[in-house]
Amino acid sequence: MDHNHEHSPLNHEIKLKTKQRSLHRLKIIEGHLKSIERMVEKDTYCVDIIHQSMAVQKALKRLDMEIMSSHLQTCVVDQIKHNEVDKSVSELMRLYEMK
């Protein structure tokens, strides 16, 4: 989530909040993954496992969106201010290609 430019106090606050929310979401996701592992071990009905897996995937997408929002509000703005538009475009295009 970081790069080499100095951060404004607002950027620092946004990144700190994003980090805290992201870590919280990851702990929840970890709990769901452990639950899925137990379901597989207990031979739980396949469709029930898939429902749980899909919920984890949705939670990961929400995590991605949280981090992306912070990135756009902080890093991308800084890159544009420092005339690094090509870097921002390249990074975002790579992410879009991975989608």
For residue range 32-55, what is the model confidence (pLDDT) as tens digits?
Answer: 999 999 999 999 999 999 999 999
- Asked if the structure places residue 76 within a domain, the reply is yes
- Asked if the structure places residue 52 within a domain, the reply is yes
Tokens of 18: 């994003």
What does the pLDDT read at residue 6? 57
- Asked if the structure places residue 1 within a domain, the reply is no
Q: What is the mean pLDDT of the chain?
A: 91
- Asked if the structure places residue 18 within a domain, the reply is yes
- Asked if the structure places residue 2 within a domain, the reply is no
Model confidence band, residue 9 (pLDDT cutoffs 50, 70, 90): confident
What's the rounded Cα separation, in Å, for the pair 63 and 51? 19
Q: Which long-range contacts (CB under 8 A, 24 or more apart) does 8-13 make?
A: 11/73, 11/74, 11/77, 11/78
62 is in which domain, residue-wise? 9-98
What does the pLDDT read at residue 76? 93
Question: How many domains are contained in the chain?
Answer: 1
What does the pLDDT read at residue 52? 97
What does the pLDDT read at residue 7? 60
Q: What is the CATH number of the domain that holds 33?
A: 1.20.58.1000
Comparing CA positions, the residue from 91, 86, 90 lying closest to residue 68 is 91
Residue 74: burial class (beta carbons within 10 Å; 0-12, 13-18, 19+): buried
Model confidence band, residue 19 (pLDDT cutoffs 50, 70, 90): very high
Residue 1 reports pLDDT greater than 60: no
- Asked if the structure places residue 3 within a domain, the reply is no
What does the pLDDT read at residue 5? 54
SS3 category, 89: helix
